Chains A and B, each alone.
Chain A
Amino acid sequence: METSTVTNLLQSDALTNLFEVSFNVESIPSFRIRGFQPPKSGLKIEHIPYKGVTVPKIIPQQNLERVLEFEIRIDSNYSVYRSLRSIRSNWLSLGVSTDINPQSNSDLTITVKANSDSVSWQFFNAKLIELSLPPFEHENSKPIYAKATFIYGDYKES
């Protein structure tokens, strides 16, 4: 088989594992994220009856849940986890007393590229609302993935 044939074959399909996630925070190291579900935006419909027929019409309600859920691989120094914790600390500081500041603004932007610059999603004003680690155990050894849930305000697909 010629090399060019293999190259053409590789370039012919869009592949799910070529995506890249980045945050606009300089102190954050590159994240290794297990997967990404692009936002499923859609419109709702209402069925308008007229005599015996029913016609579906689009209603002014967008069916988009502005939530992102990531599973992020943690490094041996837990620096990724500490970085995530520092993002969350803008509106939640856990300690002896819990201080919540839900009204603080966020300029965190999450950019996800499907493959180089072909298709990308940008999530602006993102806030990390939930961060959790899996249970620790002595029985086996697996890389740790932290679960991070973000909410966001503006959203752009380009």
Chain B
Amino acid sequence: MNIPSSDIAELISWKPAYKNEFYAIIDDIPNTQFLVSSVSFAGSKLTLTRHNVSKLFTLDKFNRADDVTITWREDSGYSVRSLHQDWFKKFYNEKEDYYISHEGTPNVYKSMSVHLGNGLVLRLNNLLPTSIPDLQLSWSSPSITEYSLTYKVTTWEWKESKQ
């Protein structure tokens, strides 16, 4: 194996992406950079089948990138939980027992900017919640409260940071 020394020089200056080099901000929620401790956003998917006769691939299905999973770290004011409770009230009226269509309802969506290294921002537009966090308290555990919640993403895009 013969590696040119220029390759090693390139490798030294090459910048890898690190998993912990990010912070996420959700519009209109203060201090979300401390609250969102992990983001998992599955990519779009194609399902392809090889044709029996022509041996070429044909496209069967396209799966959109629909879901983002966020791990929330609760603060002492339980603002994450109260945020989701208020958010849910825009979809379902528990008192009167009826669903509210999110079409035309103001402020029903929330958008998230995931700031990555090198000034890149992954913008997830118009998130819709699918669950309220479970409240699990215990005298036998002094650990920090965290929730892992999944949201529907309407659209998403890459942007350059304005910082």
Chain A, range 35-59, C-beta contacts under 8 Å to B: 48, 50-53, 55, 57, 59
A134 located at the interface, meaning its Cβ lies under 8 Å from any Cβ of chain B in the complex: no
User: Are B21 and A55 touching (Cβ within 8 A)?
Assistant: no
Task: Please report the number of residue pairs spanning A and B whose Cβ atoms sit closer than 8 angstroms.
Answer: 24
- Contacts A60-B21, A103-B76 given; indicate if A51 touches B1 (C-beta within 8 A): yes
Q: Cβ of A53 and Cβ of B8 under 8 Å apart?
A: yes
Chain A residue with Cβ nearest B12: A55
Q: Whole-angstrom distance between the alpha carbons of A57 and B11 in the complex?
A: 10
- Interface residues of A toward B: which range? 10 to 19
Q: Is the CB of B11 within 8 A of A50?
A: yes
Task: Specify which chain A residues have a CB less than 8 angstroms from the CB of B16 in the assembled complex.
Answer: 48, 57
Residues of A within 8 A of B18 (CB): 59-60
Is B7 located at the chain interface by the 8 A CB criterion?
yes
* Closest beta carbon of chain A to B143's beta carbon, Å: 12
Q: What residues of chain A have their CB less than 8 Å away from a CB belonging to chain B?
A: 48, 50-53, 55, 57, 59-61, 103
Other than A48-B16, A57-B12, A60-B20, give 10 A-B pairs with Cβ distance below 8 A. A50-B3, A50-B7, A50-B11, A51-B1, A52-B1, A53-B3, A53-B8, A55-B11, A57-B16, A60-B21
